[in-house]
Chains A and B, each alone.
Chain A
């Protein structure tokens, strides 16, 4: 008997502003002032990022994972969040975290080997940075599910890379979120590499976005270097989540311009020509073109913006470096609500 088609699918790609700075207002109306705000935050992220890499080289912080090239994906997505939403980052999310009010001195503290870097003030709903790949994705399912059970108009936005999509955590997270209609948005930054492994060797699928389909979830690929497009896609997905329509998987198609981390040397496995090609698609460049057309950008503005950003970053560095070391007893004091006897005894050894 002939085979029947049970279902067929399409996988869509969305862009609002292309590499040349042209926008398609049919997709969404654009507020030039918002574009400018994105540009300023992305610039701040880039200045912070360069400083963090330099500080690692000088031994002032430990291993750091650069955001270079992914500023649009991170800032565009994080700016879509409301205050009560939750953000769940990996180690490569300095951009999203800065856009979501994580103080920069605390980011330096975390990468500087100090747990206080994850102790944000009340009201900043950013989870601590997850290092074990993919392990944080199901937490967004849990948070988003709880939000739905409690009837809160809020959602969880979780970040991860293309590599993370190969682990079971990712698949289990989306499947449960789908079945439970959790208020979750799964945000994959496909930056084409997981350390040395190129995306084509990570999965034979044409996109990460299409992985959602097998769980009955909407998957969308967006130009990850298009900050406005990313913002629109994440805002739509959040709206869907707030209104009980379940989770979305968004794949931001982008590129890691730097090394994997400060301990890595990408020249060992990545063709520099590929990097050059992607440099031409720098997410800040297209915004600059657009803002100039709107008379919102010129050389003087750029200069003063860079100065303002450098000052903010410098203040954060000073605050990080002038914070007195935590007492050694901190090593013991946060394991349980109440210090157990064995830890109390060992705590005395460091006093």
Chain B
């Protein structure tokens, strides 16, 4: 066991797979000698000569090359420097990566991973702070994974690299360094498609993921004694572990979803819809969500008024519990 933050856990996951599988290569902008703008790949350039590759500045080219490489049988793991710069490659993700298996009835597949830091709260420049996971969840054929802690980050990343289908792996940059935990040495897998219960409780189910999880756990700790809170970390947004959400809601009878996304058509909204369809009669209070606004992510002076705060989450929990 080694104590690591999320960045280090991601790096260790990449290292394990580079070691284990000669078909794994990493490429992207500034990930080589510079070790990535967040230093996620620091050291890997020297440790795995020729397999951690700096590309020209071309997101579409990077993602499209990964599609070709994956179809040819390799396991490319590409980094897009910030999730706000994936958009130039959307056509490749939507029209090719996600569809290759279906279009060829399984003859060609696309086992690639796209890693990108997402979410706000680090006083970054414009376009560096959005939480647009719903785009990818809405793209049929992609898997979408967002870890919230070092253990999951490493295990989910290894699972994503080994997965036979394309995976978007969004990294919670606000808590990259803020969350530390013991991580097993060597290789292990956290299976995709399964949520985890981070905290058991009986009054309310709070579903969240990624960057928001730290505030959710802090809120739950602060409400100790006032409400018995079950915290469910979704971890994989697509395919979604609806069964675990329903089972928890059937137990607690209440639901709050916390996410940083814009509200309309959010993943949070999908969770509410699933619960409404499948567990309405177990609910003792209307299900709720705390999300960002339907606004463009503001520049940093207002970003903390956009991102759901711990206080907002606590208030929402108490509102739902005391409905």
Residues of A within 8 A of B (CB): 62-63, 91, 110-115, 129, 131-135, 163-164, 166-169, 194-197, 201-203, 263-264, 268-269, 325-326, 328, 330-332, 335, 342-343, 346, 349-350
Nearest B residue to A128 via CB reads B126
Residues of B within 8 A of A (CB): 29-30, 32-35, 37, 54, 56-61, 84-85, 87-88, 123-128, 263-264, 293-296, 298-303, 305-306
**Could you tell me if B301 and A167 are in contact, using CB atoms closer than 8 angstroms?**
no
B299 cross-chain contacts in A, Cβ below 8 A? 110, 113-115
Give Cα distance in the complex from A201 to B53, angstroms: 11
Which one of B33, B88, B300, B305 lies within 8 Å of A269 (CB-CB)? B33
**Could you tell me if A132 and B264 are in contact, using CB atoms closer than 8 angstroms?**
no
**Could you tell me if B295 and A331 are in contact, using CB atoms closer than 8 angstroms?**
yes
Nearest A residue to B312 via CB reads A349
B294 cross-chain contacts in A, Cβ below 8 A? 342-343, 346
Nearest B residue to A261 via CB reads B125
Give Cα distance in the complex from A169 to B87, angstroms: 12
A335 cross-chain contacts in B, Cβ below 8 A? 295-296
**Could you tell me if B305 and A328 are in contact, using CB atoms closer than 8 angstroms?**
yes
**Could you tell me if A342 and B264 are in contact, using CB atoms closer than 8 angstroms?**
yes
**Could you tell me if A62 and B300 are in contact, using CB atoms closer than 8 angstroms?**
yes
**Could you tell me if B301 and A332 are in contact, using CB atoms closer than 8 angstroms?**
no
Nearest B residue to A65 via CB reads B125
Which one of B58, B128, B264, B298 lies within 8 Å of A331 (CB-CB)? B298
Give Cα distance in the complex from A196 to B54, angstroms: 9
B57 cross-chain contacts in A, Cβ below 8 A? 133-134, 163-164, 166-167, 194, 197, 202
Which one of A132, A166, A269 lies within 8 Å of B58 (CB-CB)? A166
Give Cα distance in the complex from A133 to B301, angstroms: 23
Which one of A135, A166, A203, A268 lies within 8 Å of B33 (CB-CB)? A268
Which one of B54, B59, B293, B300 lies within 8 Å of A201 (CB-CB)? B54
Give Cα distance in the complex from A168 to B37, angstroms: 23
When A342-B294, A343-B295 are in contact, do A203 and B303 touch as well, CB less than 8 Å? Answer: no
Which one of A132, A195, A269 lies within 8 Å of B85 (CB-CB)? A132
**Could you tell me if B124 and A346 are in contact, using CB atoms closer than 8 angstroms?**
no
B303 cross-chain contacts in A, Cβ below 8 A? 113
Nearest A residue to B60 via CB reads A168
Give Cα distance in the complex from A163 to B61, angstroms: 13
Give Cα distance in the complex from A164 to B60, angstroms: 13
**Could you tell me if B125 and A63 are in contact, using CB atoms closer than 8 angstroms?**
yes
| B174 shortest CB reach to chain A, Å | 15
| B267 shortest CB reach to chain A, Å | 18
B124 cross-chain contacts in A, Cβ below 8 A? 62-63
**Could you tell me if A195 and B34 are in contact, using CB atoms closer than 8 angstroms?**
yes
Give Cα distance in the complex from A62 to B54, angstroms: 27
| A126 shortest CB reach to chain B, Å | 16
**Could you tell me if A195 and B30 are in contact, using CB atoms closer than 8 angstroms?**
yes
Highest count of chain B CB atoms <10 Å: which of A114, A129, A163, A331:
A331
Offer 27 A-B interface pairs, CB within 8 angstroms, sorted by A: A62-B124, A62-B125, A62-B300, A91-B125, A110-B299, A113-B299, A113-B303, A115-B298, A131-B126, A131-B128, A132-B84, A132-B87, A164-B57, A166-B58, A166-B61, A168-B60, A196-B32, A197-B54, A268-B35, A269-B34, A325-B301, A331-B293, A331-B295, A342-B263, A342-B264, A343-B293, A346-B294
Give Cα distance in the complex from A232 to B57, angstroms: 30
| A351 shortest CB reach to chain B, Å | 12
When A62-B125, A342-B294, A343-B294 are in contact, do A166 and B56 touch as well, CB less than 8 Å? Answer: yes
| A118 shortest CB reach to chain B, Å | 9
When A196-B34, A268-B34 are in contact, do A203 and B300 touch as well, CB less than 8 Å? Answer: no
| B106 shortest CB reach to chain A, Å | 31
Give the top 8 A-B pairs by smallest Cβ distance, nearest first.
A113-B300, A196-B34, A163-B57, A166-B56, A113-B301, A113-B299, A166-B58, A196-B30
A263 cross-chain contacts in B, Cβ below 8 A? 37
**Could you tell me if A112 and B301 are in contact, using CB atoms closer than 8 angstroms?**
yes
Give Cα distance in the complex from A350 to B306, angstroms: 9
B32 cross-chain contacts in A, Cβ below 8 A? 196
Give Cα distance in the complex from A63 to B88, angstroms: 23
**Could you tell me if B293 and A346 are in contact, using CB atoms closer than 8 angstroms?**
yes
Give Cα distance in the complex from A112 to B300, angstroms: 8
Give Cα distance in the complex from A115 to B56, angstroms: 31
Extra contacts, 10 of them, besides A113-B300, A203-B56, A263-B37 (Cβ < 8 A), are: A63-B123, A115-B298, A167-B57, A197-B30, A201-B56, A202-B56, A331-B306, A343-B294, A349-B293, A350-B305
A325 cross-chain contacts in B, Cβ below 8 A? 301
Nearest B residue to A340 via CB reads B294
Give Cα distance in the complex from A224 to B146, angstroms: 44
| A296 shortest CB reach to chain B, Å | 39
Nearest A residue to B85 via CB reads A132
B128 cross-chain contacts in A, Cβ below 8 A? 131
B29 cross-chain contacts in A, Cβ below 8 A? 194-195, 197
Nearest B residue to A167 via CB reads B58
Give Cα distance in the complex from A62 to B57, angstroms: 24
Highest count of chain B CB atoms <10 Å: which of A62, A112, A163:
A62
Nearest B residue to A196 via CB reads B34
When A113-B123, A163-B57 are in contact, do A132 and B88 touch as well, CB less than 8 Å? Answer: yes
Give Cα distance in the complex from A349 to B126, angstroms: 24
Nearest A residue to B126 via CB reads A131
Which one of A131, A201, A202, A326 lies within 8 Å of B125 (CB-CB)? A131
When A113-B303, A131-B126 are in contact, do A167 and B60 touch as well, CB less than 8 Å? Answer: yes
Give Cα distance in the complex from A283 to B303, angstroms: 39
| A82 shortest CB reach to chain B, Å | 29
